[in-house]
Amino acid sequence: MEGTNLWLLSCGAEAANWQNLLCSDRGRQRLNELHQEFDYVLIDAPPLSQSNAATMLGSATDGAVLVIKANSSRREVARKAMEDFKSANVPLLGAVLNQRTFPIPTKIYKRL
């Protein structure tokens, strides 16, 4: 599509040694190439409760954004994630609360 400025790079199939690939010189070199080619590189990593990939990837990036699922993520888990990023020297750039339902009354919604 002409004029498209959004690109998606799929990770492909999961490799048995994915952690070694992330920390390898080749993996870091590929991330550097992406940083040189694009203004922003966003990496979607698995939850910290399931894997340490986010902290591993975070050490090769400018920082991390913590995504918190509304009505599901516990405060203690979010704090632990923040501590994990801090101990890995990964700057926490912010947080996003997703899947939040907040119904707006029709009268107010029409004014927006």
Say if residue 92's pLDDT is above 90: yes
Domain map of the chain by residue range? 18-111
> Is the entire prediction scored with pTM above 0.75?
no
Q: Are 25 and 55 in contact (CB under 8 A)?
A: no
Q: Which CATH superfamily is domain 18-111 in?
A: P-loop containing nucleotide triphosphate hydrolases (3.40.50.300)
Say if residue 1's pLDDT is above 70: no
Dihedral-angle region of residue 15 (phi above 0 means left; psi in -120 to 50 means alpha; beta otherwise): beta
- Tokens 């698995």 map to which residue? 46
**What is the model's pLDDT at position 2?**
64
**What is the model's pLDDT at position 83?**
93
Q: Which two tokens stand for residue 112?
A: 């927006």
**What is the model's pLDDT at position 76?**
92
Per-residue CA distances from 86 to 5, 31, 59, 78 (Å): 33, 21, 10, 12
Burial class (CB in 10 A: 0-12, 13-18, 19+), 68: middle
Rounded Cα–Cα distance for residues 47 and 64 (Å): 12
Rounded Cα–Cα distance for residues 53 and 30 (Å): 16
